[in-house]
Amino acid sequence: MSSDEDDDMFNPDEIESDPALRIQIEDYHSDVQDRVRRAYLLKGPTQPNLPHFERTNFGSKTRAFSKTWYKKYDWIEYSKDRNVAFCFYCFLLDWKHAYKALPGHVGGVGSAHNKARLHCDDFRNQNQSVSTNLARATEESKQLYKSRLHSSLGCARYLIFQGLSFRGHDESSTSLNKGNFLEMIDWHKINDEKVRDAFDRAGRNCKMLSPEIQKDLSKCCTQEVTEVIMREIGDRKFSVLIDESRDISVKEQMAVMLRYVSSKGKVVERFLSLYHVKETTSMTLKEALDAILDHYNFTIHRLRGQEYDGASNMRGEFNGLQRKILDENPYALYVHCFSHRLQLVVVSVASCCSSFMICLIIFVLREVNDERRGPSQAAGLIELMESFKFAFVLHLMIKLLAITNEFSQVLQIKDINIVNAIELVHDLKARLASMRKGGWEGFFDEVQHFCQAKGIPVPNMEERIPVRGRSRLDGMTYTNLHFYRVEIFYVAIDKICTEMNHRLNEEFSEIIVSFSCLTPKNSFSMFDVDKLASLAEIYRTDFSNDDRTTIRDQLETYILHVRRHAAFSSLTDLESLAIKMVETENHLVFPLVYKLIELALLLLVSTASVERAFSAMKIIKSKLHSRMANEWFNDLMICYTEREIFKQLDDDLIVK
């Protein structure tokens, strides 16, 4: 059976995590059963780390599953759907015994469970896997195998890191270009005699060059990258950044990134998964998110923030993805991406002035770009561009867009936090208000000097002209000064201020104001014990009753401590405060305060990170590389996006 036919019968991306809902191995076609087993072995047992497990009545007592069993029995799985425990090994190779009760399940040496475990070990170590068992081979053949394996891995790592394709259109031995992977292997063989000897002496089925081996190597790289991310996160709380886009093959892809605070107090955003969704309804996106979190044994109850681009299917207050998550976890606060809100502000301002601003400039520039225009039309366009109105509007656009662009650039920084973002919004509003109040004279002088230098006539500002939109017969007029200052300058600034007040007013203003009290600026001048203590009541699941009782005392001691020590006097933002607390081990002295700082840093500001991942998607899956399977695409995306981790991985760790 061909690999394409296998793909039609089994898709590794669609394996069921919940053990109670899985299709049994025996129900798959015999040709793909081993592929199914391998996919589940790579995924590992499903062990959700729920805060509470459902209790079941047993006579007069109630009992519940205990997550401590995961450490005691590495084979145990838990079904959230059925509230039942399962055996991972028995599911793979002896499914009839997978439903037995936990006590006595392991049994003796010859029990069904132990036989299934031995079969799993044998299956995991068979020759068609990258981690081949070489115990019976000679020492020389082991070295030859390792040489081929490391050569193939080195080529694969280079292609992944550079975002290059692996396969070629014609990979036959007589092909002029067999594709990047095979061509790199050939180059390696030419330049290294030992490598050439290792491949020349390899058996037909052990050359480590097949498409399956290429995917297997990519999968191994991805597993090590995600393992690093999992260790970084540990049992910490996190937030999710989600966005969806179509790839080159017109498949809807949902990208998920996690934001968390590392053990050193630094804000980290990591790419977690790229998941193909058949449709983009909020229900489908929620199911996809659940599948991704289950795959990594995360629970939605650990979420402390969520951010999207503002699309209705994600953001919708009642039926969107954010509402579905909030229904399960009210602490996963939603923040609409600040960058998209700022974009909406700029677009709204442009639309309100389109009759004499944006359309005027865009029209002229578009017409200038059209080479088919005749000399007479070109002369007319030049005359329009050399008018005072055009110069005035162009300078105003440059001025306003320069101010908003500064804000936009800051929002794209990975480690920006919500408190800093709100402060920047206030600074931007203050700057616009200052420009409206006292910026006219300086701005008009700038435009006037520009026009004089370019030979553009400046109209008499006291001359009266008809009111725009009214008939000349009405006799209603105003001066040129009124038109340019009030109808254009003031209107544009007022519109952008109004839109900012409308779109950049934070939904959780009470929480944001409370978190802003943590900022170390000006020797912690905004510190407020009452507001910060109220956060412990809002985040009740993160603070026990004892914590909520003692947090005021800890806050009062904390503020005296940091104001007295010079190490904290020069800090200006929350992340630098968190890092300094870890460096000085004050996060251990004031654990409740540090927890508040972590929660503040988890609130999201912008989806710029996940949108950068979509830029990577266009590099990896291009027009010449558009038939890639979803699982391989995801593996390449994770390694390419997290190249900082990927580059530091040791080859021996990947192939072990």
385-422: pLDDT as tens digits: 778 888 888 888 888 888 888 777 777 676 676 777 77
Q: Does residue 306 lie within any of the structural domains?
A: yes
Q: Map tokens 């036959």 to a residue.
A: 172
Residues 177 and 67 occupy one common structural domain: no
* 227 and 181 housed in the same domain: no
Q: What angle do CA 270, 599, 499 make, to 5 degrees?
A: 85
Gyration radius (Cα) of the chain, Å? 31
- The answer to whether residues 386 and 526 belong to one domain is no
319, 359: one domain: no
Contacts of 590 (CB under 8 A, 6+ apart): 554, 557, 558, 561, 581
Could you give the 3-state DSSP secondary structure of residue 258? strand
* Residue 129 forms part of a structural domain: no
Distance of alpha carbon 511 from alpha carbon 565, whole angstroms? 28
User: What residue type is assigned to position 92 of the chain?
Assistant: L
Asked if 13 and 36 count as a contact pair (C-beta separation under 8 A), the reply is no
Instruction: Give the three-state DSSP class for 238.
Output: strand
Strands annotated E in 346-482? 464-466, 477-479
Residues forming a β-bridge with 76: 87
377: number of Cβ within 10 Å = 12
Residue 215 pLDDT: 92
**What is the structure's pLDDT at 560?**
95
Distance in angstroms (rounded) separating the CA atoms of residues 637 and 13: 15
Q: Do 563 and 524 form a contact (C-beta atoms < 8 A)?
A: yes
Residue 559's pLDDT is 95
- pLDDT at 101 (0 to 100): 53
CA–CA distance, 536 with 173 (Å, rounded to integer): 67
Q: Which amino acid is at 517?
A: C
Cα dist from 380 to 87, 139, 516, whole Å? 80, 84, 55
Structural domain span for residue 562: 509-602
SS3 letters across 575-644: HHHHHHHHHCCHHHHCHHHHHHHHHHHHCCCCCHHHHHHHHHHHHHCCCCCCCCCHHHHHHHHHHHHCHH
DSSP summary character for residue 27: G
- 130 assigned to some structural domain: no
Q: H or E segment at 268?
A: strand 267-276
Is there a contact between 394 and 359 (Cβ–Cβ < 8 Å)? Answer: no
Selection from 456, 466, 492 nearest residue 350 by Cα: 492
Rounded alpha-carbon distances, angstroms, from residue 597 to 252, 417, 418, 515, 532? 36, 11, 11, 8, 10
Angstrom distance (rounded) from CA 79 to CA 186: 49
How far apart CA 342 and CA 564 sit, in angstroms, is 39
560 assigned to some structural domain: yes
Write out the two tokens for 229: 């991310």
Structure tokens at 97: 């015994």
Judge if 368 and 471 occupy the same domain: yes
- Give the separation between CA 53 and CA 66, rounded to whole angstroms: 7
**Dihedral angle computed from the Cα positions of residues 374, 377, 378 and 380, in that order, rounded to the nearest 10 degrees:** 160
Contact 420, 267 (CB under 8 A): no
Structure-block tokens of residue 514: 């409370």
Cα 615 to Cα 34, 409, 565, 646, distances in angstroms: 36, 17, 45, 18
Nearest to 237, CA basis, from 215, 268, 208, 206: 268
Q: Supply 577's token pair.
A: 């405060």
The answer to whether 384 and 453 have CB atoms below 8 angstroms apart is no
Listed residues 209, 237, 254: the one ending a domain: 209
Domain endpoint, select from 476, 503, 530: 503
CA distance 543 to 387: 65
Residues lower than pLDDT 70 in the chain: 1-14, 58-60, 92-119, 121-138, 309-319, 337-341, 343-344, 346-384, 412, 414-415, 417, 469-475, 503-509, 606-607
Do 362 and 442 fall within a single domain?
yes
Where would I find the beta strands (DSSP E) of 119-234? none
By the 10 Å C-beta count (0-12 exposed, 13-18 middle, 19+ buried), 398 is classed as exposed
CA 143 to mean position of chain CA atoms: 41
Q: What is the pLDDT of residue 378?
A: 53
In three-state secondary structure terms, 450 is helix
- Identify whether 324 is part of a domain: yes
Q: Which residues of 526-536 are buried (b: 16+ CB within 10 A; e: fewer)?
A: ebbbebbbebb
Whether 13 is covered by a domain: the verdict is yes
Phi, psi of 268 (to 5 degrees): -130, 135
**Measured between alpha carbons, how far is 296 from 367 in angstroms, rounded to an integer?**
54
Residue 345 and residue 293 share a domain: no
Domains contained in the chain, number? 5
Are both 11 and 79 inside the same structural domain? Answer: yes
Taking alpha carbons only, the member of 582, 583, 592 closest to residue 559 is 592
**DSSP reduced 3-state for 464:** strand
**Which pLDDT score, from 0 to 100, does residue 535 have?**
92
C-beta separation of 134 from 116 below 8 A: no
Q: How crowded is the C-beta side of 306, counted as CA atoms within 13 Å?
A: 25
Distance CA 616, CA 642 (A): 11
Do 38 and 160 share a domain, yes or no? no
Whole-number pLDDT of residue 504: 65
Q: Is residue 585 part of a domain?
A: yes
Task: Tell me the C-alpha distance between 512 and 529, whole Å.
Answer: 15
Enclosing H/E stretch for 647: helix 643-648
211-245: pLDDT as tens digits: 889 999 999 999 999 999 999 999 999 999 888 88
Distance CA 363, CA 341 (A): 26
Query: What's the whole-model pTM score?
Result: 0.69
Neighbouring CB atoms inside 10 A of 446's CB total: 12
Would residue 131 count as lying in a domain? no
Domain boundary among 503, 520, 552: 503
Same domain, yes or no: 366 and 470: yes
Does 224 lie in the same domain as 203? no
CB-based contact 288:313 (threshold 8 Å)? no
Phi and psi torsions of 238, nearest 5°:
-150, 170
Residues 416 and 472 in one domain: yes
Cα separation, 560 vs 121, whole angstroms:
59
Place of tokens 């299956």: 123
